[in-house]
Structure 1
């Protein structure tokens, strides 16, 4: 039952080419933004599109797969956990961020030839 405690699954499209870096301790990290589209009808019955953007982080072998397999615009299923963090800006303001730490993904659309 522990596997259900902090689990998120999203289907969306990559908003940009994934950024791939190697940390100081040699660990691979891939980051990208994911646009998840949904919609609803407003009070007048008009359809309203709603896009939510999520920041995705992948580590280790998963990051290597992201680098090799994913590109901007592809549709993917992402599974992972939510991670909250806080940080301070250079101006001294406290900020908060929520990211998805991805542990698995499934490619739904092929890589573009562009």
Structure 2
């Protein structure tokens, strides 16, 4: 079974790419942090932050384009994928990505003038396959 569940903060605005009519893909980095602690002998273990490359397709990508922003806390459920590619210099590179199947927005609604109304804020909304999407 290939299943990944992450709760973390969005590292930058999602990058959205449209292809074939109205289909799109979104990607963004997600930071997850394990809190530090102190061992019984007094040794301090610092926080550890890991960065994950999240990839969303179709309806999830449109949801991210509309609602997800840098700093938002989200729950991601999906699967891990590895791919190789050639960089600009022709060297082989490997990328590890999380292909999201479900996403839940955990951030409280923003209090800003750029939000048209409170009904446009999906606080705590879970989004999964396209049959459950709000649009």
TM-score tier after normalising by the smaller chain length:
0.7 to 0.9
Distance in 2 between the 1:108 and 1:15 partners? 15
Tell me the SS of whatever aligns to 2:89: coil
User: Runs in 1 of length 4+ with deviation above 6 angstroms?
Assistant: none
Gaps of 5+ in 2: 113-135
RMSD value, Cα? 1.7
Higher strand share: 1
Distance in 2 between the 1:72 and 1:112 partners? 12
TM-score (norm 1): 0.86
> What's the CA shift for 1:112?
3.4
Gaps of 5+ in 1: none
Query: Residues 61-98 of structure 1: CA distance to partner in whole angstroms, max 9, x if unpaired?
Result: 11111112211111110011111000112222111000
Distance in 1 between the 2:56 and 2:109 partners? 19
> What's the CA shift for 1:29?
0.7
Tell me the SS of whatever aligns to 2:47: strand
Give aligned pairs, total: 109
Higher Rg of the two aligned structures: 2
User: Cα–Cα, structure 1 residues 70 and 111, in superposed 2: closer, same or farther, change >3 Å?
Assistant: farther
Matched with 2:133 is: none
